[in-house]
Every structure is written in structure tokens, then in C-alpha cells.
């Protein structure tokens, strides 16, 4: 007996978002019936996850992600991009590169947000990075868990220590200090300025 379910139930059965379901319908991969009120209904018997995901996997892209913390590391960003491009080309993969310039503690970077949205929407089949800290300083494991749930292969070229760890970490710490000291003392206060100057000297001295 035919059983019709709502778009939310259909998305849940297939393990995708409602947006992805609508995209499949627009491309003709999925057909919906419509109620008198104009609501979509899907035949539960035709919602076979293994079939939809098999086709989707073939169409998903490889994304190579690169990041540095600040403008003075642009040369390092270019090196990362070249390394990622060379690796992907050698593997014969069709790919695109997403690059960010910002702290590894910033979860609101445009490139990272675009990457995560694409992963969640089921558009990414493989993520390639030079080192896990290029993704996020803290919290990379959470992104990896999302990748696992979405059947995204994660390729990390360098499993060892990140060569720019100390420099990046120092910049990230300074960013945190700047934000919190501004909140505590006011961005224009003399006390805030002295605090930042002293901490910058300490961090620069430790990095030298």
C-alpha cells in the first residue's frame, strides 16, 4: 500500500537536508506528489537511501582547504594551495580550492562556512588539507565527525606537527587577548593599551 510522507519525513529517511531533497526534485531525480493545499508528499516505498546516495557520491566534489592566520603569512597560504593542487592533480581528482585568511579559533570565516555548508548539503565527497590545524586550531575533530556522518573522506597530507604552529598560536592568543581586554577595559582605555603592549612583547619574545 502506498504511503505518502512529508518533505521533512522524506529528508529524514534519506539522511539529507530538506534543501538537498528540493535540489534532487528540481533535477528530476526525485518526484513528489502534491496535496490540494500544495504540500509535497513522497512515496515512502521509493525512498531508498542506498540508491540516492550512490548517485550522489559520484557527483560530489573534492575540496582542498587552506588557511593562514594573518596577512603576513600570504606566502605560506600560496605554498599550501600549491601543495594541495599538486597532490590532487597527481591523484587525478577534479577539485576546487577554498582558502581563508584568519585565526584558527575563528569559526565564522567565509571559506570555512562555505565548506561546512557544502558538506552538510551533501555536495562534498572528499576534503583535503595539509594539516588538521589548518582547518581549526581547536574543534577540527568536530568537523571530522560531521564529515564521517556525511560520508566525506578526509585526507590530511601532513600527519605530524604543523611547522607554523607556534607562530599561528601566538597570533591566535593575541587575538583572544585583544577581544577580552577590549570587553573588560574598553577598547580605548590606557589600561587596555598597556596590557596589550606588554603581552605582545611577551609573546614576541617567546617566539623569537
The pTM assigned to this predicted structure is 0.56
Q: Name residue, grid cell 607554523.
A: 164
Share of the chain above pLDDT 90, in %: 19
Question: Looking at the annotation, which residues are catalytic?
Answer: 69
Largest CA distance in the chain: 75
Which residues contact residue 138 at a Cβ distance below 8 angstroms, ignoring those fewer than 6 apart? 104, 105
Domain 60-156, CATH? 3.40.50.1390
Q: What is the pLDDT of residues 113-122, one digit of tens each?
A: 999 999 988 8
Overall size of the chain counted in residues: 208
Q: What are the residue boundaries of the structural domains of the chain, listed by start? A: 4-57, 60-156, 165-207
Nearest to 5 by CA among 48, 23, 53, 13: 13
Q: What is the pLDDT of residues 73-130, one digit of tens each?
A: 888 899 999 999 999 998 888 899 999 988 766 778 899 999 999 998 888 989 999 9
- Whether the predicted pLDDT of 149 surpasses 80: yes
- For the chain, give the mean pLDDT: 77
Q: At the topology level of CATH, where does 4-57 sit?
A: Multidrug-efflux Transporter Regulator; Chain: A; Domain 2 (1.10.1660)
Amino acid at each position: 500500500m502506498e504511503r505518502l510522507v512529508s518533505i521533512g519525513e522524506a529528508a529524514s529517511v534519506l539522511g539529507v537536508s530538506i534543501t538537498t531533497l528540493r535540489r534532487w526534485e528540481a533535477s528530476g531525480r526525485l518526484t513528489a506528489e502534491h496535496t490540494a493545499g500544495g504540500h509535497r508528499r513522497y512515496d515512502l516505498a521509493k525512498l531508498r537511501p542506498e540508491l540516492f546516495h550512490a548517485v550522489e557520491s559520484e557527483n560530489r566534489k573534492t575540496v582542498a582547504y587552506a588557511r593562514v592566520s594573518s596577512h603576513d603569512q600570504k606566502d605560506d597560504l600560496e605554498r599550501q594551495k600549491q601543495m594541495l593542487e599538486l597532490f590532487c592533480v597527481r591523484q587525478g581528482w577534479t577539485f576546487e580550492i577554498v582558502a581563508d585568511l584568519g585565526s584558527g579559533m575563528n569559526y565564522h570565516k567565509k571559506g570555512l562556512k562555505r565548506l561546512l555548508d557544502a558538506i552538510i548539503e551533501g555536495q562534498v565527497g572528499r576534503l583535503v588539507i595539509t594539516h588538521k590545524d589548518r582547518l581549526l586550531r581547536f574543534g577540527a575533530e568536530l568537523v571530522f565527525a560531521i564529515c564521517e556522518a556525511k560520508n566525506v573522506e578526509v585526507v590530511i597530507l601532513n600527519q605530524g606537527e604543523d611547522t607554523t604552529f607556534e607562530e599561528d598560536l601566538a597570533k591566535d592568543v593575541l587575538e583572544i587577548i585583544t577581544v577580552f581586554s577590549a570587553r573588560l577595559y574598553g577598547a580605548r582605555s590606557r589600561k587596555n593599551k598597556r596590557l596589550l603592549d606588554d603581552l605582545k612583547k611577551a609573546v614576541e619574545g617567546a617566539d623569537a
